[in-house]
Amino acid sequence: MSEANGTQPATSDALENLLQENRKFAPSEEFAANAVVKPGIYEEADADHEAFWAKQARELLSWNEDFTQTLDWSDAPFAKWFVGGTLNAAYNALDRHVENGLGDRVAIYFEGEPGDSRSYTYAQLTEEVKKAANAFESLGLAKGDRVAVYLPMIPEAVITMLACARIGAIHSVVFGGFSADALRSRIDDAEAKLVVTSDGTYRRGKPSPLKPAVDAALEAKGHSVSSVVVVKRNGEPVDWHEGRDRWWHEVVESASADHTPVPHDAEHPLFILYTSGTTGKPKGILHTTGGFLAQSAFTHKATFDLHAETDVYWCTADIGWVTGHTYVTYAPLINGATQLMYEGTPDTPHQGRWWELVEKYKVSIMYTAPTAIRTMMKWGEDIPAKFDLSSIRVLGSVGEPINPEAWMWYRRVIGGDKAPIVDTWWQTETGAHMIAPMPGITETKPGSAQTPVPGIAVDVVDEMGQSVPNGHGGYLVIRKPWPAMLRGIWGDPERYKETYWSRFDNMYFAGDGAKKDDDGDFWLLGRVDDVMNVSGHRLSTTEIESALVSHPSVAEAAVVGASDETTGEAVVAFVILRGNAVEDPEIVTTLRNHVGKEIGPIAKPRQILVVPELPKTRSGKIMRRLLKDIAEGREAGDSSTLADNTVMQQITSSLKG
Ligand code: WTA
């Protein structure tokens, strides 16, 4: 790892605190006795990991053509899973449940932010997806075409994704919090033919627009989009481009509800999802059908101990992130589960909204992020105490390391001191859970993601790629290919090899630091590269730096992730201004808004500090470690390798002044 990086594995104060943690929570006898996954599963998976995944794929999915080879790794690191198999993702999520007599089971309970609600049974959702598939085909969409999805958390988002999958079109969901510019670059990279959006949504009790960003994104000529389908959600007026724009309620509602799902190859692309990496340009992570669905369905069932007939499952993630793909759109429906989908913010109209929903829908499995848990902790436990949360039996966490305090609060206040906490480590790239407890087997420890998922080979290695002994930290790697692994970066196979497979021989480099404790359990320590994690959202320091220097007032910029009590990390930017901008009193606001426009509101720095110089090594690398010290209010550490030793002095005195 280079000196210039901010985070070193196994050195932080947080780690020291974690290592003091020795509480353990075994599943209750009753929970263990009724659990979906039984002890022995690890041994079974270890004995033959390919056979294990082949069995899951056959048990959990319906194949039109069975596969003839479980894994083809001959062209590593490009994997093929379930070779020769064919299936349809939408058929697996929908039609087959109806054929199996589950048509009347609720698939989605939807609750809008203003309090409107609707629900879809499996039969109804199947019909909607068939209509949407017909509508999209009538607009010229065909197998292999790309579709940009820019929608809020409404059922049409899931319907759109499944309609694409049904046809074999590849969806690329762009989070609604991204700007028009970010949307355009993703549309261009994937050469999307269709965009599905809505007039807008509701945010904190007010209408919030989306369509104007699509219009702005498509303003400059030279794009690939021929149609925009618009869901009417908040009823706000929108500009209309005749010939390009269509209302969902016209084109989809009038379409036929007959649509035959054609089988696709197991390796047919299912979706692209852009995520931040260590360079300025987001990577289009590519996932394919069979392997992704098999591991998604397995982990959803095993990690959450899903009993589809009785559970009500709620994942609070937005479909703009991978968690919303795997654990909202695909896995729950493949498994025939009943799930809740909520459009809005957790504090509208009051801070008990989530718990009111848990009570109303009798949610039994909840899956959310540590940042949300910490926010709720701040609001106070008297708020959830007002609601009946007794339906809850499993609680999941994802997106960033969960600190033991938040873990304990989640278990005690939300889980009634009995629901197991499953902390799940995974990434956009891994497609599905990779490290997670099995709630009926694992004795859990507050703050640890615990154990590799059965059939997944995770390890921690040192600089040289040697496995570290228990009690030591290093880099998190994956030693064997796994079914839901990314199949590459859209349009850039070299970058895929370089980013994930060049750091260590024959191992996938995740970019996270981790430690194995004395029992061999895993503790995640955050990123070791230039990726930040703000409220569980991945942001690239380089991408934000590029956005800042694209402003005419900025000469140079360096961005660091500073630890933040609620959001995990927060964006702090150091900028050197060009001569004429120095006197502008509004410059910080201007630059924050500029980042919002270039990337999206989520990337706006919490703080922008104007400095005369940046600390650089002799080779010209910015030493973010030192800037991080300042951002976190510490005395800056060792600066002996700086090209100019006085720089830190200059920075601190300029900030004081
Ligand atoms: C971090 C989100 C600790 C990690 C599913 C990873 C976690 C990045 C955890 C991926 C966890 C995710 N404990 N860290 N349980 N889950 N991360 O692609 O740094 O948005 O590399 O996928 O989030 O973020 P992504």
User: Ligand 1 center to residue 652 CA distance, Å?
Assistant: 33
425 CA to centre of ligand 1 in angstroms: 6
- Measured by CA distance, the residue closest to atom 14 of ligand 1 is 400
Any binding-site annotation on 578? no
Could you please report the per-residue DSSP string of 401-458? PPPHHHHHHIIIIISTTTSPEEEEB--TTT-S-SB---TTT--B-TT--BSBPTT--E
Atom index in ligand 1 nearest the CA of residue 524 equals: 3
Minimum mean pLDDT among 274-278, 372-376, 463-467, 591-595: which range?
274-278
pLDDT tens digits, one per residue of 320-364: 999 999 999 999 999 999 999 999 999 999 999 999 999 999 999
pLDDT in tens, 158-195: 999 999 999 999 999 999 999 999 999 999 999 999 99
- Amino acid identity of residue 423, one-letter, is D
Nearest CA to ligand 1 atom 22: 427
Tell me what percent of the residues of the chain surpass a pLDDT of 70. Answer: 96
Question: Ligand 1: distance of its center to the CA of 139 in Å?
Answer: 37
CB 96, CB 62: distance < 8 Å: yes
DSSP state of 618: T
Does residue 427's CB lie within 6 angstroms of at least one atom of ligand 1?
A: yes
Distance 77 CA to ligand 1 centre (A): 22
- The answer on pLDDT for 465 being more than 80 is yes
Residue 639 pLDDT level (bands cut at 50, 70, 90):
confident
Q: Which residues pair with 522 in a beta bridge?
A: 450, 516
Task: Give phi and psi for 3, each to the nearest 5.
Answer: -60, -30
| 197 carries a ligand binding annotation | no
- How many angstroms separate the CA atoms of 94 and 261, rounded? 11
527 assigned to a ligand binding site: yes
**pLDDT at residue 4 is higher than 60:** no
323 is in an annotated binding site: yes
Q: In 3-state terms, the chain is what percent helix, strand and coil (to 5)?
A: 35, 25, 45
- The answer to whether residues 434 and 458 touch, using CB atoms and an 8 Å cutoff, is yes
Q: Which of 566, 237, 199 is nearest to 375 (CA)?
A: 566
pLDDT for residue 11 is more than 50: no
> Is 624 among the annotated ligand-binding positions?
no
User: Residue 518: which residues within 8 A CB-CB, separation 6 or more?
Assistant: 470, 471
For residues 84-93, give the mean pLDDT: 98
pLDDT at 581: 79
Span 509-527, pLDDT tens digits = 999 999 999 999 999 998 8
| Helix and strand numbers, DSSP H then E, in the chain | 23, 30
What is the distance between the alpha carbons of residues 110 and 202, in angstroms, rounded to a whole number?
Answer: 14
Ligand 1 centroid to 274 CA: how many Å? Answer: 15
In the sheet that 458-461 helps form, which strands lie side by side, from edge to edge? 458-461, 473-478, 508-516, 522-527
Q: What is this structure's pTM?
A: 0.92
The pLDDT value given to residue 13: 54
Residue type, 486: L
The Å distance, Cα 325 to ligand 1 centre, comes to 15
What mean pLDDT do residues 75-82 have?
A: 98
Q: Is 424 annotated as a binding residue?
A: yes
Strand 568-577 to 607-610 pairing: parallel
d(CA 337, CA 350): 28
For 90, which DSSP code? H
Reported confidence tier of residue 530, pLDDT bands at 50, 70, 90? confident
- Ligand 1 pocket member 335 (CB < 6 A): no
- Which residue puts its alpha carbon closest to atom 8 of ligand 1? 427
Give CA–CA dist 317/328, Å, rounded.
Answer: 8
Task: Pick the range with the lowest mean pLDDT from 252-261, 291-300, 421-430, 608-617.
Answer: 608-617
Annotated binding residue at 279?
Answer: no
Predicted local distance difference test score (pLDDT) of residue 8: 41
When pLDDT is cut at 50, 70 and 90, the band that residue 14 belongs to is low
What are the residue ranges spanned by the domains of the chain?
29-456, 529-656
Q: How confident is the model at residue 15 (pLDDT cuts 50, 70, 90)?
A: low
| Residue 198, φ and ψ in degrees, nearest 5 | -135, 165
**How many angstroms separate the alpha carbon of residue 650 from the centre of ligand 1?**
36
Alpha-carbon span 162 to 159, nearest angstrom: 5
For the segment 392-418, the average pLDDT, to the nearest whole number, is 96
CATH code at 29-456 = 3.40.50.12780
Is residue 424 within 6 Å of ligand 1 at its C-beta? yes
| Pick from 449, 447, 506: nearest CA to 479 | 506
Q: pLDDT-based confidence at 368, cuts 50/70/90?
A: very high
Tell me if 425 CB under 6 Å of ligand 1: yes
With a cut of 0.95, is the ipTM above it? Answer: yes
- Residue 363 among known ligand-binding residues: no
Q: Is the CB of 529 under 6 A from ligand 1?
A: no
Query: Is 492 annotated as a binding-site member?
Result: no
Q: Is 524 in the pocket of ligand 1 (CB under 6 A)?
A: yes
Determine whether the shortest distance from the Cβ of 398 to ligand 1 is under 6 A.
Answer: yes
- pLDDT band with cut points at 50, 70 and 90 for residue 3: very low
Q: Taking 70 as the threshold, does the pLDDT of residue 657 lie above it?
A: no
**538 annotated ligand-binding residue:** yes
- Rounded to the nearest angstrom, the distance between the alpha carbon of 537 and the centre of ligand 1 is 8
Show the beta-strand stretches assigned E in 277-379.
283-288, 312-315, 338-342, 365-368
Question: Ligand 1: which of 316, 524, 535, 541 to mutate, judged by most atoms within 8 Å of the beta carbon?
Answer: 524
Higher pLDDT, 60 or 13: 60
Q: Is 427 annotated as a binding residue?
A: yes
Q: Return d(Cα 155, Cα 248) in angstroms, integer.
A: 13
**Residue 105 identity (one-letter amino acid):** R
- List the residue whose alpha carbon is closest to atom 12 of ligand 1: 399
Nearest residue by C-alpha to atom 24 in ligand 1:
427
3-class DSSP state of 576: strand
The finding on whether 176 has its CB within 6 A of some atom of ligand 1 is: no
Q: Whose CA is nearest to atom 5 of ligand 1?
A: 427
Distances (CA, A) of 224 to 182, 231, 270, 324: 15, 21, 20, 26
Among residues 436, 409, 404, 484, the alpha carbon closest in space to that of 305 is found at 436
Lowest-confidence range among 13-17, 76-80, 451-455?
A: 13-17
Q: Which residues pair with 554 in a beta bridge?
A: 577
Average pLDDT, the chain: 94
pLDDT of residue 140: 98
> What does 102-157 look like in DSSP terms, one character per residue?
ITTSEEEEEE-TTS-EEEEEHHHHHHHHHHHHHHHHHTT--TT-EEEEE--SSHHH
Cβ of 423 below 6 Å from ligand 1: yes
Give tens-digit pLDDT for 32-72.
999 999 999 999 999 999 999 999 999 999 999 999 999 99
pLDDT band with cut points at 50, 70 and 90 for residue 202: very high
End-to-end, the C-alpha distance of the chain in Å comes to 35
Q: Sort 20 into a burial class: Cβ within 10 Å, 0-12 / 13-18 / 19+.
A: exposed
Q: Tell me the torsion sign for CA atoms 627, 629, 633, 635.
A: negative
Cα–Cα dist 95/587, whole Å = 56
pLDDT for the residue numbered 635: 86
Nearest CA among 569, 474, 503, 4 for reference residue 276: 569
Q: Is 651 helix (H, G, I), strand (E, B) or coil?
A: helix
Closest ligand 1 atom to 321 CA: 20
Q: How far apart are CA 85 and CA 219, in angstroms?
A: 42
What's residue 149's pLDDT? 98
Q: What is the CATH number of domain 529-656?
A: 3.30.300.30
